[in-house]
Structures are given as structure tokens and as C-alpha cells.
Structure 1
Amino acid sequence: MQALASFSAFVGRSFAIWVIVFAVLAFLLPSTFSVFAPWIVTLLGIIMFGMGLTISAKDFAEVGRRPFDVFIGVAGQFLIMPLLAVLLTRVIPMSPEVAAGVILVGCCPGGTASNVMTYLGKGDVALSVACTSVTTLLAPIVTPFLVWMFASQYLPVDAMSMFMSIVKVILVPLALGFAIQKIAPAAVKAAVPALPLVSVVGIVLIVAAVVAVNQVKIAESGLLIFVVVVLHNGLGLLLGYFAARAAGLSLAKRKAISIEVGMQNSGLGAALAAAHFSPLAAVPSAVFSVWHNISGALVANWFSRMEEPGVKGSETATQKA
């Protein structure tokens, strides 16, 4: 079991590398990985079930303890990223399917990888986890509404159907994981070390499936999508940081909100795009999955060397306030 836990931790730390490797393999060998396309929703459900096994009541206690900080993070997530996506689709010419996909990933909640990057960047991990948890729970209502409001000009949007999809793939697995955590805590405690491996495998297969199914279209427009994703993610990280600074938050909190805003639950974006739009609309989410883990690691490394002016030593990742 110790060997499995060590291997799982290693895979979790090298997440970005595995995503890149299998995205390239899927592009070169599409027939090998396209078989996973029908399993995208199931794979995401498994990932969210794993999140449910680790989420705790104290994650939500942070909301009551410091609601203003969490509000800044949640508002930044659901305002900055969707509006940036809309701006990019207006400024850069792209097909309706790609535009809808860019907007969709911008309207998704924060991704759990943001919590890891915040830890590595010596940011406020408790705040990051609270923001991820709140945006995830709000996603069934907020994400379909934002997609309907901003993407309807490109493709038809069935907000109610999207709402039901998010409930099935996010809330139900989360609730099941949380319930099992309470019913069988010893078994869950034993399984937790293997969860990074499960999450990485799930995301890697989702990305590989999307790349494989869209291999020809990626060859035609992949560079454009990559540029849009890099701009979307980079501006999100930057504006998230400055929004937190404008709100008067400390350096550790600014780090957390910057990473939280810039990193999306792109697995959810890929699943929703494939189910409600088209395979091509899922490509921005797949590219986002690859890129935001690279950029997140780079930003975390930079943040880890930043210190609050006038404070001896940087604020640590274990800071709770």
C-alpha cells in the first residue's frame, strides 16, 4: 500500500507531464484513444467522487469565517473568466464551435489542481479549497446560466439540460463520496493516498479522448486554440491577482485567488461541450487542461519566492486567515 501511495504521489506531482505525453500520443495514435470518448462523463464522475471523499465540513466553515475573502474568489471566478472568454471570441476570429467551447470553459468552476498549485506557491490553501468547493456547488446553476447568456449567439444552448448534466456529473458523485466518507471513514482514509493517481488517470484519458476524436481539426486550428487558451489563462491569473489586491487582501490570499481564477475545471468543460455542443467545442477545454497545469506550476514557482513587503519570511501555505 505504501508503494501505491508513493507512486500515486509521484504521478500527482508530475501531472502536467502525463497530460502532455498522452495528449501527444492521442494526436499521433487517435484510433487508440478515441475508444475512451464515450466514457468522458463517467471519468469526470469518478474524479468528482474522489473529491467528495476528501472534502470536509471545515472547508465550508471557511466561508462563514471569512465570507469576504471567499466572495472575492468566487466572484472573480464567475466574472473574470467568462468575460475574458467573451472578449477573446470577439477579438480573435474563430468558428462558432470553438467560440462556444472557449466560453464554456470560462464559465466552469475552479479546478482542484488550483489547491495544489496554491500550496506550492505558498498561498492560502484553506481559502483556495473553500473557493473551489463553493464554485463547484454553484456550478449547476451559474455555469448553464452564463453559457446560455454568452454562448447562445454561437450555438443553441439548452440550459436546463446542461443543469441536469452538471448535477449528475458533479453533485451526485460529490454527495456519494461525502456520504461514504462519513459511513466508512477508515476505508476512505486508507484509499485517500491513491486518489491523486485516480484523478490524473481520469483527466489524462479525458484529454486524450478529446484530442483523438478531433485530431484532424486540431491539426487545422490547434495553434489558434492554443493562443486563445494561453491568453485566457494568463489574463485570468493576472486579473485574479489584481482583483484580490484591489480588495485589500494579503499576499497569500492574492496568490490563492489568482490561481483559483486562472485554473478551471476543464474536465467538466470537455464533458459538457462533448455532450451539448460538438466534439470540436471540447478542444479548448482539452487544451486548457494541458496548458493550465504548466502555467500553474510556473506561477506557483514564481509565487513561492514572493514575500509580503515588510514581513520577515513569506506567508506559508498553511496560513488559515
Structure 2
Amino acid sequence: MNPLLTVLATDVDGIRIAFEEGSLTTLKIVIGAILFGVALDTRLEDFAAAVRRPVVITIGVVAQFLLLPALTFALTLLLDVRGSVALGMILVACCPPGNVSNILTHRAGGDVALSVSMTAISNVLAIFLMPLNMAFWGSLHPTGDALLREIDLSAVDMLAEIAFVIGVPFVLGITIARLWPRVAAVGHRVVGPLSFLALGAVIAIGVANNWSIFVDHIGVVLLAVLLHDALALLLGYVIARGTRLPEASTKAMTFEVGIRNAGLGLLLVFTYFDGLGGMALVAAWWGIWDIVAGLAVAQWWRQRAGRGVRAEPEPVA
């Protein structure tokens, strides 16, 4: 690593991003709203549909909760990032997707039904797998482990927080979708966009309040996030093509693996890691760049289809 970057990386391990208690509460509400929006577009039938496509769902689960964290860990070692940046990258990799993956799949002309099913399954599994993944991979990192011991992270406490933030909105949203489907349909169209605009506003305000820190240290995480995001999207695409999924399913798999709910990661950074500098910068920048990169990929697929390259038909069975 460049000596200057080494100094900056060391510094970023020692800084803390200021985030007021009121802002943290707002962030928690916004993340809950995002998951509520996902649930409003989820039906119990989506879980039944997932059961009927066990191979595809299993491929997605393995890619998201096993391969992506493992490859992320390897990337942190390859880039030689410092502890807080490594932990931020690992945390983001452990996050489930949000409904942005569904929107991008639709825009790209992909298998939206598969995308919605995978999002629902992934968010439920993330309640249990996210804290375990974070504790496991974080403890293996040569510099991240020391920070984890200083923070004394409890996987049980994180599980409880994730269960509350994901589980409560998810159950509420699915219940409304089941009992009042028309209300859920309207609510999804409103809650989804508004919650992501609100998340963008919270991130923007947080960056503005810590502008000097952001300017001084963004270079430390810039390349790491760009490469990490590209790796996540590429993993989804490669594993889909490698398992011979149809093109529409490949698009869904690409976004389900590549798009992470970094807002949830940001919430956990301020709840359990005291705004640890590198982690907060990674989660905040990922939340911005992930959408930009995802939109670019979706637009490329959309234009490709417009030029007459059609998706492979989905199998009837």
C-alpha cells in the first residue's frame, strides 16, 4: 500500500463519525420503512413460489451469504485495507438486498417474480445469517479482529436489532398485503420511493455534518467500494451464467447478489460500532454508488433488449 494511504487508513481507524441520537432514530425509521416497502410487495405466495424453485433460490442464497462475504474478505486482504474499512466492506456484504434490486430487475427486463421471491427469502435469512457472518469474517481479519474485540460486538445483540428492524416491518407489511392487497399495492408505490429518498437525505445530511472527515478520507474507501460493488454484481452474473440460468433469471440474480441494503449496514455502524470511521464511509459511499452502478447495468440491458437482443424464454416447469 502507498505510504500516504497507509497513514490515511490508520487515521480512519481512529476517527468517529458524528451522528446525533435523533438522526439515528430517523435512520432506524427509514430503514424500517424500506423493509416495510419490500414486504408490501411480498405475498405468502412468493415463498411458495420459492419452494417450487429450490435450486435457483439455493444458488442465490449461497452466492449472497457464503460466496460474497468470502470473496469480500479476500478482497480486503488483496487491497490491504485497514481494520475499519475491512469491517465496513464485510458488513455491507452481509446485508440483504432491498427493493432496489426488484426495481432494477424490472427495468432490465429480468425475472421480477424471482427477484421478489429472493428478496423476501434473503431478508428473512439475514436476520440470523447477517450477525453470524459479520462475527465470523470480521474475527478472521488480521486488523478487523482487534477492532471487534475493542467494541466487544455481540452477535446476539445484533441479531435482536436486525430482527426488530427487519422482522417487525416485514411481518406488518406482509399482513397488510395479505388482508388488504389494494392498500398494499398503493402503499408500495409510495413507501418504496419515499423511503429511499429519505435515506438519501439522511446520508446527505450526515455527510454535510462531517464534511471535513468525508473529504479527507473518502479516497481511502473510494477504490475499495468501486471494486467491491463490481465484484458483487459480477458474482451474481457469473454464478447465474455458470449454472445456466435463463437470461431473465440471470438479470434477477445479478441484482439480488450485487445490490446490498447499505442503509441497514449504516444503521448498525452507528448502533454497534460508534460510527467507526472506515465502516461509516464504506456504508455511506456504497449506498450511493451501488444504485448508480446498478442503474447503469440495468440501462445497458434495457438498451441491448431494445436493439433486438431478446431474453431467453423462461422454462414452463
Please indicate the TM-score interval, normalised by the length of the shorter structure.
Answer: 0.7 to 0.9
8 Å CA contact 1:108–1:143 kept in 2: the answer is yes
Maintained 8 Å contact 2:35/2:98: no
Pair 1:194-2:181 in alignment: no
Q: Is the 8 A contact 1:124 1:317 kept in 2?
A: no
The amino acid that maps onto 2:233 is: L
Tell me the equivalent position of 1:259: 255
Aligned to 2:135: 148
Q: 1:225 to 1:146 in 2, by over 3 A?
A: same
The answer to whether 1:292 aligns with 2:290 is yes
Alignment of 1:41-60 (within 5 A): 41-60=28-47
Residues 292-313 of structure 1 show CA distances to partners (whole Å, capped at 9, x for unaligned) of: 1110011112222456xxxx85
The CA deviation string for residues 133-159 of structure 1, in whole angstroms up to 9 with x for no partner, is 111000111100110001131423310
Structure 1 residue 34: Cα displacement: 9.2
Question: Is 1:227 aligned to residue 223 of structure 2?
Answer: yes
Q: Which residue does the alignment assign to 1:238?
A: 234
Structure 2 CA distance for partners of 1:123 and 1:129, relative to 1, 3 Å: same
- The alpha-carbon distance between structure 1 residues 118 and 90, as it changes in their structure 2 partners (threshold 3 A), is same
Does the 8 Å contact 2:127/2:159 carry over to 1? yes
1:235-288 CA-partner distances (Å, limit 9, x unpaired) = 111121111111121111111111211110111111111111131222211111
Alignment partner, residue 27 of structure 1: none
Q: Tell me whether 202-211 or 261-270 shows the greater mean CA deviation.
A: 202-211
CA RMSD, 1 decimal: 2.7
Please give the secondary structure, in 2, of the residue aligned with 1:155: helix
2: CA distance, partners of 1:56 / 1:319: 22
2:169 aligned residue (173, 176, 182): 173
Q: CA deviation at 1:219?
A: 1.8
TM-score, scaled to structure 1: 0.81
What letter is aligned with 1:261?
Answer: V
Residues matched between the structures, number: 288
Q: What are the superposed Cα offsets for residues 92-111 of structure 1, whole Å, 9 maximum, x if unpaired?
A: 23332222111100111122
**Residues 43-66 of structure 1 deviation map (CA, whole Å, 9 limit, x = unaligned):** 211222222222112221221221
* Residue type of the alignment partner of 1:291: W
Which position in structure 2 is the counterpart of 1:303?
301
* Aligned counterparts of 1:264 and 1:99: Cα–Cα separation in 2: 16
How do residues 1-321 of structure 1 correspond to structure 2 at under 5 angstroms? 36-152=23-139, 153=145, 154-156=147-149, 157-212=153-208, 214-279=210-275, 280=277, 281-306=279-304, 314-315=310-311
Q: 1:231 to 1:121 in 2, by over 3 A?
A: same
Equivalent residues of 1:96, 1:155 under 8 A apart: no
- Equivalent residues of 1:31, 1:212 under 8 A apart: no
Inter-CA distance 239–50: structure 2 relative to 1 (3 Å threshold): closer
Which amino acid letter does the alignment assign opposite residue 101 of structure 1? G
Tell me the distance in 1 between the aligned counterparts of 2:18 and 2:160. Answer: 31
State how far apart, in whole Å, the 2-side matches of 1:252 and 1:206 are.
34
Q: Which runs of 5+ in 2 are unaligned?
A: 1-16, 140-144
Kept in 2: contact 1:98–1:284 (CA 8 A): yes
CA contact (8 A) 1:126 1:320 kept: no
1:170 shift after superposition:
0.3
Q: In the alignment, which residue of structure 2 is the partner of 1:18?
A: none
Among all aligned residue pairs of Structure 1 and Structure 2, give the percentage whose two residues are the same amino acid: 33
Give the TM-score of the pair, scaled to structure 2. 0.82
Taking a change above 3 Å as real, the CA distance of residues 35 and 219 of structure 1, as seen in their structure-2 partners, is farther
SS of the residue 2:87 aligns to:
helix
